[in-house]
Amino acid sequence: MSTAGKGNAYLEQVVAQQAVLEDDLRARRPPGEQPPMAAGALAKRERALGGGPGPDRSAPGPVDVRITGFWRWKNVLVPPNAFVVHTRRGRAQPLHIGLGVSFRFNPATDSFLVVPGATQTILINAYCICRELQGVLVQGYVQWGIQAFPIAYRKLDFGDPEDPMRLVNLQLREQAEAAIKDKVATMGVRDVLSDKQPIIEELTARLRAVAEGEDNSDQGLGLRIVTVQIKEAVVSSSQLWENLQKPYRAEQGQVARLAELRSEEAIAEREMAAARLKETRRLEHERELAELRARNEAARFDTEVAERLRRTQREHDDARAVAELEAETTRHAMRMERERHEEEAETGRLRIEREQELKRLELDGELRLTQSSALAEHERALLEVERARLRADIDNAQTPASLQARLIESLPEIMAKLPKPEELRMVSFNGGDRTTVSGLLTELAMVIGVLRSAIDGDERP
């Protein structure tokens, strides 16, 4: 299959997307809804029916206009985002014109037109021929809106009952496609594909000259161009499209291949450097291991020789130490034997001296005991004499008042030791001087005698 016979898949995809976008932007109505009628047809139908009251109906176009009332007294309610013009028979100027204006309506003499005020979008697919006589599809869109409705409704046709903007969109689309084709015819294929700004500027200038007029004059259509954009520019021939892409692809392939070669070269150098470094490290490691093994062998040999010398020296030292120990043991045994004989002789002498010392100590103890007993008897006799003298001094030093005070102090103790009396007897003492010791002792003896008789009387029964 040749390259010329292949289809342009990208072009087909762009066209399919454009069709989907057009279908999405098209105004949709709920299923079963009848298309609206023009205002004149609605008035004729009401006159044919006799002008009687009927249900609310929608006005022409896709705008949701409500008509209320009956016969000649009706009200037209226009949404705030729709332009309306209201005319009456016999009047040259409209009664009402503007955006979102509601008014009273007489079907016999009045007529009105409602146009959407929202921004409109026109999708453009311009099949152009460039300077190299090659087919190019330029895809873009234009957004426009009504700027001066009093001018627009006179110069443009909004009479389509289903879509008032359809004829205006078709006219603007044709003009936009013609402007794009004229501009693309003066440009090369590469210029069209790489820079779309000249096309946008040319298309904007032409559409604004037609829609808005030059220098804001009244020669325009009363419209305003909001924006003009070019979305895609696609070469129709797939073979030309591939040929245009080949130099860049080849250049990019060359850059990629050179980059791969540089990368492979750098990787190879790094790998060789890494291998050289690895081998160098391995050799150094082996040399260090050999030196370490040699040092370890030498150290082990020195250690073994030193250990053998140490063991030989130790054996000689042990033999000499054993001989010296045996001689010392013999000398020690002889010395111990001599010391034992000396100790036995000393023990016998000490035992004799201890027996003599014990006998002497026993005699000294008996003598000291005898002397201690005599001294104790003498001291006891002296103490008895001193105690008798002190008692006599105390008795001689006592006065009647002190005796009476001592007696009074001891009365509570005496009374506490006496038994509890069962009866009370009163004894009066007459005669006797209480100020003397003899008188006080006499009274005390009488009290004791009374108490004793009371106690004896209690014990008899």
Task: For Cα atoms 14, 19, 20, give the angle at the middle one, nearest 5 degrees.
Answer: 100
pLDDT at residue 454, as a whole number: 61
Q: Is 32 helix (H, G, I), strand (E, B) or coil?
A: coil
pLDDT at 3: 39
- Please count the residues of the chain: 461
Which range has the worst mean pLDDT, 233-242, 340-349, 415-424? 415-424
Look-up of token digits 């004989």: 341
Per-residue pLDDT at 81 exceeds 60: yes
Residue 56 confidence (pLDDT): 43
Pairwise pLDDT comparison (430 vs 275), residue with the higher score: 275
Neighbours of 414 (CB within 10 A): 13
Domain borders along the chain are 8-33+119-236, 38-118
CA atoms within 13 A on the CB side of 90: 2
Lowest-pLDDT range of 22-36, 189-203, 285-299, 437-451: 22-36
Burial class from Cβ neighbours inside 10 Å (0-12, 13-18, 19+) for residue 193 reads middle
3-state SS, one letter per residue, for 394-450 = HHHHCCHHHHHHHHHHHHHHHHHHCCCCCCCCCCCCCCCCCCCHHHHHHHHHHHHHH
Given a cut of 70, is residue 360 above it in pLDDT? yes
pLDDT tens, 26-74?
544 444 444 343 344 334 334 433 333 333 444 445 777 888 888 888 8
Distances (CA, A) of 66 to 86, 88, 110, 430, 460: 15, 19, 16, 153, 148
Q: Place domain 8-33+119-236 in its CATH homologous superfamily.
A: Band 7 domain (3.30.479.30)
- What is the predicted pLDDT for the residue at 272? 92
pLDDT band at 277 (very low <50, low <70, confident <90, very high): very high
For residue range 123-180, list pLDDT tens digits in order. Answer: 888 888 888 887 888 888 888 888 888 888 888 878 777 778 888 888 888 888 888 8
CA distance 7 to 17: 17
User: Which amino acid is present at 382?
Assistant: L
Q: Which of 161-165, 206-210, 297-301 has the highest mean pLDDT?
A: 297-301
Mean pLDDT of 376-392: 83
Mean pLDDT (the chain) is 76
- 8 A C-beta contact, residue 225 and residue 212: yes
Q: Tell me the percentage of the chain whose pLDDT exceeds 70.
A: 73
**pLDDT score of 406 more than 60:** yes
Listing DSSP states for 275-337 in one string gives HHHHHHHHHHHHHHHHHHHHHHHHHHHHHHHHHHHHHHHHHHHHHHHHHHHHHHHHHHHHHHH
Q: Give the residue, 52 or 117, on which the prediction is more confident.
A: 117
List Cβ neighbours of 201 (8 Å cut-off, separation of 6 or more). none
pLDDT at 344: 87
Amino acid identity for residue 122 in this structure: I
- Name the phi and psi angles at 68, rounded to 5: -120, 170
Asked whether residue 220 carries a pLDDT value surpassing 70, the answer given is: yes
Q: Is the pLDDT of residue 426 over 70?
A: no
Q: Following DSSP, what letter does each residue of 232-277 receive, concatenated? A: EEEES-HHHHHHHHHHHHHHHHHHHHHHHHHHHHHHHHHHHHHHHH
Per-residue pLDDT, 243: 63
> Given this model, what pLDDT does residue 188 score?
79
**Residue 371, token pair as written in the block:** 């002397």
**Which DSSP string do the residues of 137-184 spell out, in sequence order?**
EEEEEEEEEES-HHHHHHHS----SS-TTHHHHHHHHHHHHHHHHHHH
